[in-house]
C-alpha cells in the first residue's frame, strides 16, 4: 500500500504506527463481524491492512515487486473456518503485530539512511530505541483482541525499576533502552508510581527524550539538562548536574 506522505521524524513514524494499529484493532474488535465476512476462505490469498488514516482493508497483496512496504501475513482467510473464531482472530492479531513492527522499523531504516536532521550522521541506535520504547507503551493488538494482560513482575534493582521508555548509558558506552516491556512490567504499586523529572519535576511523557543519571539513578528531560539523543549516544556514563557538583567532575563522561 502506498504511503500518503513519508514520516520524517521518530514521532511521525510512531504516529503512523499508532494509526495503523488503531485500524487493525477496530477490524478485529468493533468491526469483527464485517471483517469475518470479508475473509471468505473461498477467495484468493487475502491480507489485512491498517492504513495511516485509521482505516482497515481486507484485500489481495499488492502486485508491485518489490512492494513499497513489508506485506502483512498472506492468506488469513484460509484458516477462518478451520479453527475456533476467537483463536483465529488472535492468530491474525499476532501476525498483525509483527507486520506493524516491520513497517515502522522499515520506514525508520529508510529515514536513518537518508535524513540528516542537522547532524553529520543520524544517530540510528538512539532513534530506534526511542521508537521502540514508545511502541512498547501501547498494548499489542493481540493483548487487546484476546483480552489478555501481560504478567507484571516486580522489577529488581538490576532490571531498572525507573525505566519507562528512556535511554541510559552503560560503562561500555552502549546506549541502553529501558522500555516498559510487556513480559517484565511492574506490579500494581510500581505501575501507578509517577516518574518525575529530577530537574523540573514534570511528569514522564513517552513523546519526550529522557536520560537517566548513572550515579543517583534519577531521570531527567533531555531538554532540562541540555542533552539531545545525538549527544547521548556518545556518553559512556551520564552524571546529572547535581552529581557533577558533588563529585567535582564532568557530568557527561565519554567521547564528546
pLDDT digits (tens, 9 = 90+) for 28-72: 999 999 999 999 999 999 999 999 999 999 999 988 777 888 999
Tell me how far CA of residue 158 lies from CA of 99, 127, 162, 184, 191, in angstroms.
32, 24, 11, 12, 17
How far apart (Å, rounded) are the C-alpha atoms in residues 118 and 102? Answer: 27
Question: If DSSP codes are grouped into helix, strand and coil, which group holds residue 33?
Answer: helix
User: What pLDDT, on a 0 to 100 scale, did the predictor assign at position 246?
Assistant: 67
The closest alpha carbon to 101, from 208, 8, 16, belongs to 16
pLDDT digits (tens, 9 = 90+) for 91-136: 999 999 999 999 998 887 765 444 444 443 444 566 778 888 889 8
d(CA 99, CA 246): 48
Q: How close are the terminal C-alpha atoms of the chain, in Å?
A: 42
pLDDT at 32: 95
Phi, psi of 107 (to 5 degrees): -60, -40
Q: Are residues 179 and 121 in the same domain?
A: no
The pLDDT, as a whole number, for residue 241 is: 84
Instruction: Flag whether the pTM goes above 0.75.
Output: no
Percentage of the chain beyond pLDDT 90 is: 34
**Between 176 and 56, whose confidence is greater?**
56
169 is a domain residue: yes
Judgement on whether residues 170 and 88 belong to the same structural domain of the protein: no
183 assigned to some structural domain: yes
State the Cα torsion 129-164-160-122 to the nearest 10°: 20
Q: Is residue 2 part of a domain?
A: no
Cβ atoms of 70 and 99 within 8 Å: the answer is yes
Of 132 and 24, the structure prediction assigns the larger pLDDT to 24
Count of structural domains, the chain: 2
Do 131 and 167 reside in the same domain of the chain?
no
Tell me if 94 is assigned to some domain. yes
**81 and 20 housed in the same domain:** yes
CB 96 within 8 A of CB 1: no
Q: Are residues 85 and 114 in the same domain?
A: yes
pLDDT bracket for residue 2 (50, 70, 90): very low
For residue 225, CA distances in Å to 154, 228, 254 come to 30, 9, 16
**Banded pLDDT at 9 (limits 50, 70, 90):** confident
Query: Which domain does 80 fall in, by range?
Result: 10-146
Q: Work out the mean pLDDT of the chain and round it to a whole number.
A: 75
Instruction: State whether 120 and 162 are in the same domain.
Output: no
Q: Domain for residue 4, yes or no? A: no
d(CA 108, CA 128) in angstroms, rounded, equals 7
Interatomic CA distance for residues 87 and 28, integer angstroms: 12
Helix (H, G, I), strand (E, B) or coil at 27: helix
Q: How confident is the model at residue 149 (pLDDT cuts 50, 70, 90)?
A: low
Same structural domain, 19 and 138: yes
Residue at a domain's end among 85, 117, 146: 146
User: What confidence score (pLDDT) does residue 129 get?
Assistant: 81
pLDDT value of position 93: 95
Burial of 226 from C-beta contacts in 10 A (0-12 / 13-18 / 19+)? exposed
Q: Is 211 a residue whose pLDDT tops 90?
A: no
- On the question of pLDDT at 238 being above 80, the answer is yes
Cα distance between residue 120 and residue 135, in whole Å: 27
Flag whether 1 is in a domain. no
Which pLDDT does position 222 carry in this prediction? 85
Task: Please report the pLDDT score of residue 81 as a whole number.
Answer: 92
Angle at Cα 188 formed by Cα 168 and Cα 215, nearest 5°? 25
Q: According to the model, what pLDDT value does residue 65 have? A: 72
Higher pLDDT pick, 175 / 61? 61
Amino acid at each position: 500500500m502506498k504511503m500518503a506522505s513519508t514520516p520524517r521524524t521518530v514521532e511521525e513514524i510512531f504516529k503512523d504506527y499508532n494509526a495503523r494499529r488503531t485500524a487493525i484493532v477496530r477490524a478485529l474488535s468493533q468491526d469483527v463481524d464485517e471483517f469475518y465476512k470479508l475473509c471468505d476462505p473461498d477467495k484468493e490469498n487475502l491480507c489485512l491492512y491498517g492504513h495511516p488514516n485509521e482505516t482497515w482493508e481486507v484485500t489481495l497483496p499488492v502486485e508491485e515487486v518489490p512492494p513499497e512496504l513489508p506485506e502483512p501475513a498472506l492468506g488469513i482467510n484460509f484458516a477462518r473456518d478451520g479453527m475456533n473464531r476467537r483463536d483465529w482472530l488472535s492468530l491474525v492479531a499476532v501476525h498483525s503485530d509483527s507486520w506493524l513492527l516491520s513497517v515502522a522499523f522499515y520506514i525508520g531504516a529508510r529515514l536513518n539512511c537518508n535524513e540528516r536532521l542537522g547532524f553529520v550522521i543520524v544517530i540510528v541506535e538512539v532513534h530506534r530505541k526511542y521508537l521502540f520504547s514508545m511502541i512498547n507503551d501501547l498494548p499489542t493488538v493481540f493483548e487487546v483482541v484476546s483480552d489478555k494482560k501481560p504478567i507484571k513482575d516486580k522489577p529488581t534493582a538490576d532490571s531498572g525499576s525507573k525505566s519507562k521508555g528512556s535511554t541510559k548509558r552503560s560503562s561500555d558506552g552502549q546506549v541502553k533502552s529501558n522500555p516498559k516491556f510487556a513480559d517484565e512490567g511492574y506490579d500494581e504499586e510500581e505501575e501507578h508510581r509517577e516518574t518525575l523529572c529530577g530537574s523540573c519535576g514534570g511528569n514522564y511523557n513517552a513523546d519526550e527524550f529522557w536520560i537517566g543519571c548513572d550515579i543517583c539513578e534519577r531521570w531527567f528531560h533531555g531538554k532540562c539538562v541540555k542533552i539531545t539523543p545525538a549527544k547521548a549516544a556518545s556518553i559512556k556514563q551520564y552524571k546529572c548536574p547535581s552529581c557533577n557538583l558533588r563529585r567535582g567532575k564532568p557530568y557527561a563522561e565519554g567521547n564528546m
